[in-house]
């Protein structure tokens, strides 16, 4: 019989992680190894997990972490290759020269540019790249960070070429017996289930998130406009542009999620939507009658700016590629098509390797898969299809970019070294957080496991009992909590995906709809994830303002969570109660 003590013990690893990350503001590189050790202790002493099962679960987690890091590394190599070649600067100038109006620049750079970078790289990259770009254009540092973080949220669920779905939902569901069996009993494969989750997540995002360009503009003009005359009127003046931009992004984004795969929505939404809106603006439509500008520099609040003066050379910020992105001098004569071409090639490669069966079957042969069955004598296994996952094709695109841009060996080396440097912190954090989650997930799978099931199952059952029929209203907030702790939609999905699946099963709710809300919650939690805030603030010389950004970003977070919660209730009980 389950007791409150059982539930409290099961929650120890998650509570400890939350306390260290949010309460004490520890970096994930320090907090997650400790949380993993706590999961091992709970598994051994309270869930009677044999040592070989603890080690096997951790090893399976390490393999999943490797798959994520393979994708992230490829994404970063391609991004920094474009930076070194000057292509990224050419893309930015293509946006920035359309209008001097700050509101238009927010839409083009903080929304379209940021969502594209999220779809291509993910893992905190968009705001860390976009914020210094806006700073270089003359934005207050704090405004640049707020706009950049808000602007990319709709794209996060499909960041790094679909990693939060492909790795965050599909892999854990496949590795846990109770989710895998339940999905198969429902007449689907785990892959089909994850595709459906991605489609429902896109539905939430499209219906709620299409107003995010207007939200980003409104936050900037209200909080960083004339301090003596705060007003949303400047935002309403560009509402047609903002709404048109949101729809231009959301339509191809939604269609991609439903009819292609989870890897493309953010990339296709930003590329198609951005092209449409740029064409409209260049034709003279949707441009505001009057240009909006920030107040005079002497009227800015001290906390708006840090160690880097807006508009100055950002190379002062430690020489990081993000900080120097606004000042790259290369690519002056480069066409926009040439600048975008490596990402166009990436989309083509991904489509071909997934849509053409002979090619797909070839790259999924055993020779191209790192697998470990029966890990350490247990029933657990792990596999990494290293050629099939997007990381390999991201690296191929980066290599193809070398002759396209006639890059020198030094430039190529700098791009790869910077990507390697950036991967260190995510490596440590991801390895231990995913190992922790695997221990919690597999704690009910070993011989002699307690009847209450795994730690995750017990926590899900308890949460379902407490919230009851109101559970759908809170599903996205659970996902947001996971992302706020770990700073990653992918890790939130790995941590709470099976949790949400089990809770939906207990309550008889549509599981794809509930897990879809989890995937959206994992995205919106990035609005207040301390790790993302630190990364973005560091690029504009404004470390120490994390709390201020967090308070401002609670406004769009509450809007998003409320909207998704209401939709989840409507979908679950009224419109689609019969969905699996």
- Residue 329 banded pLDDT, cuts 50, 70, 90: very low
Q: Rounded to an integer, what distance in angstroms lies between the CA atom of residue 205 and that of residue 270?
A: 14
HSE (CB half, 13 Å, CA atoms) of 138? Answer: 12
HSE (CB half, 13 Å, CA atoms) of 7? Answer: 12
Q: Is the pLDDT of residue 325 over 70?
A: no
The residue assigned the tokens 């935002």 is 235
Give whichever of 30-34, 222-226, 317-321, 423-427 has the largest mean pLDDT.
222-226
Which residues have CB under 8 Å from 25's CB, separation 6+? 530, 546
Q: Report, as an integer, the average pLDDT of 441-468.
A: 89
- Which tens digit of pLDDT belongs to each residue from 108-124? 999 999 999 899 877 77
User: What confidence score (pLDDT) does residue 448 get?
Assistant: 87
Q: Is the pLDDT of residue 425 over 80?
A: no
Spacing of C-alpha 138 from chain mean position = 27
- The CA–CA distances, whole Å, from 473 to 179, 245, 516, 563 equal 22, 28, 13, 9
Task: Name the pTM for this structure.
Answer: 0.83
Q: Rounded to an integer, what distance in angstroms lies between the CA atom of residue 97 and that of residue 93?
A: 6
Q: Which two tokens stand for residue 251?
A: 């339509």
Which residues have CB under 8 Å from 5's CB, separation 6+? none
Q: When comparing pLDDT for 383 and 411, which is higher?
A: 411
Picking from 50-54, 123-127, 128-132, which range would have the lowest pLDDT averaged per residue? Answer: 123-127
| Dihedral sign of CA atoms 26, 29, 35, 37 in order | negative
For residues 563, 569, 575, 580, the Cα torsion angle rounded to the nearest 10 degrees is: 110
Tell me the β-bridge partners of 384: 370
User: What confidence score (pLDDT) does residue 209 get?
Assistant: 97
Nearest CA to 28 out of 539, 487, 527, 418 is that of 487
- Residue 332 banded pLDDT, cuts 50, 70, 90: low
Give whichever of 79-88, 318-327, 352-361 has the largest mean pLDDT.
79-88
Q: What are the contacts of 7-10 at 24+ separation with CB within 8 A?
A: 7/458, 7/459, 7/462, 9/42, 9/46, 10/42, 10/46, 10/440, 10/455, 10/458, 10/459
Nearest CA to 164 out of 565, 579, 560, 493 is that of 493
User: What confidence score (pLDDT) does residue 471 get?
Assistant: 97
- The CA–CA distances, whole Å, from 336 to 86, 126, 476 equal 11, 20, 38
CB 425 within 8 A of CB 531: no
User: What confidence score (pLDDT) does residue 32 get?
Assistant: 86
Q: Is the pLDDT of residue 326 over 50?
A: no
The residue assigned the tokens 């003066």 is 309
| Dihedral sign of CA atoms 363, 364, 366, 368 in order | positive
- Residue 317 banded pLDDT, cuts 50, 70, 90: very low
Q: Which helix (H) or strand (E) holds 353?
A: helix 336-355
User: What confidence score (pLDDT) does residue 103 get?
Assistant: 97
CB 51 within 8 A of CB 44: yes
- Residue 98 banded pLDDT, cuts 50, 70, 90: confident
The mean pLDDT of the chain is 89
User: What confidence score (pLDDT) does residue 312 get?
Assistant: 56
Q: Is the pLDDT of residue 327 over 70?
A: no
Q: Report, as an integer, the average pLDDT of 448-468.
A: 89
CB 117 within 8 A of CB 129: yes
């Amino acid at each position: 019989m389950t007791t409150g003590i059982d539930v409290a013990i099961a929650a120890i690893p998650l509570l400890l992680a939350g306390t260290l990350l949010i309460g004490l503001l520890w970096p994930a590189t320090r907090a997650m190894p400790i949380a993993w050790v706590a999961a091992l202790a709970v598994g051994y002493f309270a869930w009677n997990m044999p040592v070989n099962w603890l080690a096997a679960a951790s090893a399976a987690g390490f393999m999943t972490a490797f798959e994520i890091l393979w994708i992230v590394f490829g994404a970063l190599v391609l991004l920094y290759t474009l930076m070194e070649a000057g292509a990224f600067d050419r893309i930015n100038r293509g946006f920035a020269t359309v209008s001097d109006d700050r509101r238009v620049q927010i839409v083009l750079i903080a929304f379209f540019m940021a969502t594209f970078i999220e779809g291509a790289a993910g893992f905190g990259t968009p705001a860390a790249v976009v914020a210094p770009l806006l700073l270089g254009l003359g934005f207050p540092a704090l405004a640049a960070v707020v706009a950049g973080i808000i602007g990319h949220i709709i794209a996060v669920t499909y960041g790094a070429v679909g990693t939060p779905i492909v790795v965050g939902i599909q892999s854990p569901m496949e590795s846990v017996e109770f989710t895998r069996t339940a999905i198969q009993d429902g007449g689907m494969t785990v892959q089909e289930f994850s595709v459906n989750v991605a489609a429902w997540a896109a539905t939430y995002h499209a219906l709620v998130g299409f107003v995010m360009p207007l939200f980003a503009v409104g936050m900037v003009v209200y909080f960083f406009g004339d301090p003596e005359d705060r007003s949303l009127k400047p935002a309403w003046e560009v509402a047609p542009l903002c709404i048109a931009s949101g729809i231009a992004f959301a339509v191809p984004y939604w269609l991609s999620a439903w009819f292609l795969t989870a890897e493309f929505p953010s990339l296709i939404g930003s590329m198609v939507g951005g092209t449409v809106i740029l064409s409209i603006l260049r034709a003279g439509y949707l441009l505001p009658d009057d240009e909006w500008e920030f107040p005079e520099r002497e009227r800015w609040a001290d906390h708006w700016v840090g160690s880097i003066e807006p508009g100055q050379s950002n190379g002062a910020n430690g020489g990081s590629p993000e900080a120097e992105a606004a000042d790259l001098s290369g690519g002056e004569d480069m066409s926009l098509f040439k600048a975008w071409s490596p990402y166009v090639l990436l989309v083509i490669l991904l489509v071909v390797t997934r849509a053409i069966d002979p090619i797909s079957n070839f790259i999924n042969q055993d020779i191209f898969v790192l697998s470990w069955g029966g890990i350490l004598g247990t029933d657990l296994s792990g596999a990494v299809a290293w050629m099939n996952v997007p990381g390999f094709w991201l690296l191929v695109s980066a290599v193809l970019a070398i002759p396209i841009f006639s890059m020198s060996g030094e430039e190529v080396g700098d791009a790869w070294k910077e990507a390697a440097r950036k991967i260190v912190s995510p490596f440590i954090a991801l390895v231990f957080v995913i190992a922790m989650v695997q221990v919690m997930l597999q704690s009910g799978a070993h011989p002699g496991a307690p009847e209450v099931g795994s730690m995750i199952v017990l926590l899900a059952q308890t949460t379902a009992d407490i919230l009851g029929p109101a559970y759908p209203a809170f599903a996205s907030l659970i996902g947001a909590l996971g992302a706020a702790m770990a700073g990653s939609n992918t890790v939130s999905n790995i941590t709470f995906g099976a949790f949400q699946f089990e809770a939906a099963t207990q309550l008889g709710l549509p599981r794809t709809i509930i897990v879809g809300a989890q995937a959206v919650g994992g995205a919106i939690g990035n609005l207040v994830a301390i790790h993302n805030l630190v990364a973005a603030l560091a690029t504009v010389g404004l470390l120490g303002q994390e709390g201020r950004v967090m308070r401002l970003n609670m406004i769009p977070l509450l809007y998003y969570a409320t909207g998704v919660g209401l939709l989840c209730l409507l979908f679950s009980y009224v419109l689609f109660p019969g969905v699996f």
